[in-house]
Structure 1
Amino acid sequence: MTASSPSLWLRLQRLSLVTQIIIGLIAGIALALFAPEVAKSTAFIGKVFVSALKAVAPILVFVLVMASIANHKHGQETHIRPILFLYLLGTFAAAVVAVVASTLFPSSLVLATHDVAVTAPGGISEVLQSLLLSVVDNPVSALMNANFIGILAWAIGMGVAIRHAGDTTREVLGDLSNGVTLIVRLVIRFAPLGIFGLVASTLATSGFGALIGYVHLLAVLLGCMLFVALVMNPVIVFWKLRRNPYPLVITCLRESGITAFFTRSSAANIPVNLELSKRLGLHEDTYSVSIPLGATINMAGAAITITVLTLAAVHTLGIAVDIPTAILLSIVAAICACGASGVAGGSLLLIPLACSLFGIPSEIAMQVVAVGFIIGVLQDSAETALNSSTDVLFTAAACLGEDEKAQRLA
């Protein structure tokens, strides 16, 4: 009996996940071009995939972080402190890049009234208060509303408490963590199909016609994000590792950035980043905490969006910006970015806060937010890709850097 050639389905299964995603991307573009009406109907597929990711992410983070801390053995190094430093450094550096780019290539906006139903924070103190309230949120409410700051707080607290429990309890928690991880892997396997639906429906419905009037603004935004992803972040990683950073940078952009670009949610991309961290051989005790943490505070893309759109409004209104004000804006944008929600369009709601530094009234600031929603097809996708891929990049850089340092000292 002769062996038959493998079917097309089996051949597709043998391809890497990234290759499958690229195939789904190309198929989605082709369907939107040649059968736009059919492509619009694929929106449901994309929504199911993103909803599945968002559904598993909160429970995964809660169980995985709790299990990691509960089963952590004394003497194991977690490297959270250097990762946190890289997160904050990268976010602030991104804001500085955005200030410089906006000064060299100023953008102008056509500010008009748009009916956008959004509620923006009133000041930095309100952002900090909101963060504190998120930490002490009811655990059931935090899980239901995907409040990852609250989920992290409760997971850490429960993990520390269960460390003093019996071995059997900790083993059960470890088994529960493995079970949830298997469910997440199953969901991620459907990423090519989900991205096919997202791309096809988005291009068929919105297209890029609405972006033509904002080409310059988009160029500045995307240029800043590319510069941070391909220049600034590699410089930070090189400083940490003292070797060529680009293999790691490209891996993170390819395997995390692509899915984040289309899901447009750092929170939804948490399972993808956890899986990538595992394949990179990083410490589970570290990445099970640092990846969810990064989805809430490591927001270089958000810092760029807030800074560029704020300075576009400033330039349009003819307001002068001196160096001290620019530095203050970078700090405020970095703080605001850390308070941005990990969902699509989350950073846009913090633009009025940054605009208040220059005395721009909320009526005008909300028009800038509306512009952000118009260009969000590309802006928010690129922002999320940068944010999410950097979570893995800095986690890997810190883990590898600390391991190499320990080997040198040994």
Structure 2
Amino acid sequence: MKQFGILPKIIAAIFLGIMIGLIAPAWLVRIFATFNGLFSSFLEFIIPFIIIGFIASGIGMMGRGAGKMLGITTGLAYASTILAGIFAFLAAKTMYPSLLQNQVAKSFTSPEEALLSPYFTIEMPAVMGVMTALLVAFTIGLGMASIKGDALLNVMEEFKEIVVKVINVIIIPLLPLHIFGIFANMTQGGQIASIMSVFAKVFVMIIALHLIMLAFQYTMAGSVTKNNPYQMLKGMLPAYFTALGTQSSASTIPVTLKFTKKMGVNKKVADFTVPLLATIHLSGSTITLVSCAMAVMMLQGIDTGFMQMLPFILMLGVTMIAAPGVPGGAVMAALGLLESMLGFSDNMLSLMIALYLAQDSFGTACNVTGDGAISALAGRFAPKEDSSKLQIEREEQVI
């Protein structure tokens, strides 16, 4: 199984979970439900550490950047991410009434009532609440960005490495088993048919939104730089298909960098913006998170008004800098917001993880391909005095 990527494992877990749920006795499914309960408790415990480890370190590192160029690139990335989230909200509001009209009233409305209970649970209370963790992360991150000392920054970087280790060694390897148990339990409860029919349609919509967003990004970049948007986007296709395989923006940086330069972006600008954008620009992931979150909420009868979702989207744009460069990093960084701002339960969080990871490669491909457009825009607006400093200051950062 180590030879398979996370996506084949997730697909296999979903398929096997459905098969086992159809034929297995209740006592066997309750064993997996027990594991799911323990895993969910551990996720609840680790979420504050993920928030502090990634956000504090990310803000601290960003504050050491190349002056105006850092501000321009960060501003463009944030604007792109927020626009992607609002775009996904509007598309979901328009299309979900027809896509979900036959499912909203079905048994999925109260999923916890239909699921088999675990044999036992172990409480793993978090050391602090999600909002407290966010405030701590922002306070430490902004403080590190404003002072000259590196001692605390180095501590937070090592703390981040510990959290990444937990994600890579514990959470990601156990996720397929967790998702297997979730789908086996939902199948046992008679919910799986409606869920799968809904999200097959939702996935098609999400991929279409990714492509539309890329077309918009490159239309804007082409207009500003006076280049052909179609040729620019075509030139970035190798990065798109590489990201489909790697499922990691960080792992795709060499390819993204090569073809961003080929597209005509200044070498020094690209050397600075591409690695930075791989960390902070996640328009494709935001589209996926907002679309899946709204689908889960609408299926449970939870309000999805604009004023309900806008604060979540705005915070998601900031929290995305916490996403580690590993498969599923964006949804891990967003778990705290889903829980605190949208009221997601443990089962809803687990379902979000499964849904996100099932199409993670397409979101990542959208992210890295869009990095080329944002780099072109940043290069167009870059102050001349900043451009000469970018290469040296980029090498001093660890992102």
Normalising by structure 1, report the TM-score: 0.54
Kept in 1: contact 2:49–2:163 (CA 8 A): yes
Distance 1:250 1:49, change over 3 A: farther
The one of 89, 92, 95 aligned to 1:101: 95
Which residue does 1:343 correspond to in 2? 335
Q: How does 1:254-273 map to 2 (within 5 A)?
A: 255-256=246-247
1:338 alignment partner, SS class: helix
Say whether 1:200 aligns with 2:185: no
Which residue does 2:265 correspond to in 1? none
Once the two structures are superposed, residues 99-143 of structure 1 have per-residue CA deviations (whole angstroms, 9 ceiling, x without a partner) of 4424665714438997799xxxxxxxxxxxxxxxxxxxxxxxx98
Which residue does 2:206 correspond to in 1? 225
Kept in 2: contact 1:63–1:155 (CA 8 A): yes
Q: Letter of the 1:72 partner, please give it.
A: G
Distance in structure 2 (CA, Å) of the matches to 1:184 and 1:42: 22
Kept in 2: contact 1:45–1:193 (CA 8 A): no
Say whether 1:211 aligns with 2:192: yes
The one of 105, 108, 111 aligned to 1:110: 105
Which residue does 2:129 correspond to in 1? 145
Distance 1:194 1:30, change over 3 A: same
Once the two structures are superposed, residues 353-396 of structure 1 have per-residue CA deviations (whole angstroms, 9 ceiling, x without a partner) of xxxxxxxxxxxxxxxx99xx998875674368679748954873
Once the two structures are superposed, residues 330-367 of structure 1 have per-residue CA deviations (whole angstroms, 9 ceiling, x without a partner) of 8546515426883389389759xxxxxxxxxxxxxxxx
Distance 1:200 1:331, change over 3 A: closer
Which residue does 1:120 correspond to in 2? none
Which residue does 1:243 correspond to in 2? 233
Kept in 1: contact 2:77–2:280 (CA 8 A): yes
Distance in structure 2 (CA, Å) of the matches to 1:345 and 1:211: 26
Deviation at 1:82, TM superposition (A): 0.5
Q: Letter of the 1:243 partner, please give it.
A: L
Q: How does 1:63-74 map to 2 (within 5 A)?
A: 63-69=56-62, 71-74=64-67
Kept in 1: contact 2:51–2:134 (CA 8 A): no
Q: Letter of the 2:233 partner, please give it.
A: R
RMSD, aligned α-carbons: 5.4
Say whether 1:382 aligns with 2:355: yes
Distance in structure 2 (CA, Å) of the matches to 1:55 and 1:212: 34
Q: Which runs of no fewer than 5 residues in structure 1 stay unpaired?
A: 1-7, 118-141, 257-271, 314-328, 352-368
Q: Which runs of no fewer than 5 residues in structure 2 stay unpaired?
A: 113-125, 222-228, 258-271, 317-333, 388-399
Identity over aligned pairs, percent: 10
Which residue does 2:36 correspond to in 1? 43
2:70 alignment partner, SS class: coil
Kept in 1: contact 2:13–2:176 (CA 8 A): yes
Deviation at 1:81, TM superposition (A): 0.8
Q: How does 1:10-409 map to 2 (within 5 A)?
A: 12=2, 19-22=4-7, 24-25=9-10, 28=13, 32=17, 33=19, 37=29, 39-40=32-33, 42-43=35-36, 46-47=39-40, 50=43, 54=47, 56-69=49-62, 71-74=64-67, 76-78=69-71, 79-102=73-96, 107-108=101-102, 109-110=104-105, 144-147=128-131, 149-151=134-136, 153-162=138-147, 165=148, 169-170=149-150, 172-190=151-169, 192-207=172-187, 209-213=190-194, 217-229=198-210, 231-239=211-219, 240=221, 242-244=232-234, 246-249=237-240, 255-256=246-247, 283=273, 286=276, 290=280, 298=286, 301-302=289-290, 305-306=293-294, 332=307, 335=310, 337-338=312-313, 342-343=334-335, 346=338, 381-382=354-355, 389=364, 392-393=367-368, 396-397=371-372, 400-402=375-377, 405=380
Q: Number of residues paired by the alignment?
A: 312
Distance 1:394 1:143, change over 3 A: farther
Q: Letter of the 1:210 partner, please give it.
A: Q
Once the two structures are superposed, residues 196-254 of structure 1 have per-residue CA deviations (whole angstroms, 9 ceiling, x without a partner) of 3212322332237303346665455444323223x223323433473235554555566
Kept in 2: contact 1:63–1:177 (CA 8 A): yes
1:60 alignment partner, SS class: helix
Normalising by structure 2, report the TM-score: 0.55
Kept in 1: contact 2:312–2:337 (CA 8 A): no
Distance in structure 2 (CA, Å) of the matches to 1:174 and 1:277: 26
Distance 1:21 1:49, change over 3 A: farther
Kept in 2: contact 1:303–1:334 (CA 8 A): no
Q: Letter of the 1:110 partner, please give it.
A: A
Which residue does 2:329 correspond to in 1? none
Q: Letter of the 1:302 partner, please give it.
A: V
Which residue does 1:131 correspond to in 2? none
1:77 alignment partner, SS class: helix
Q: Letter of the 1:238 partner, please give it.
A: Y
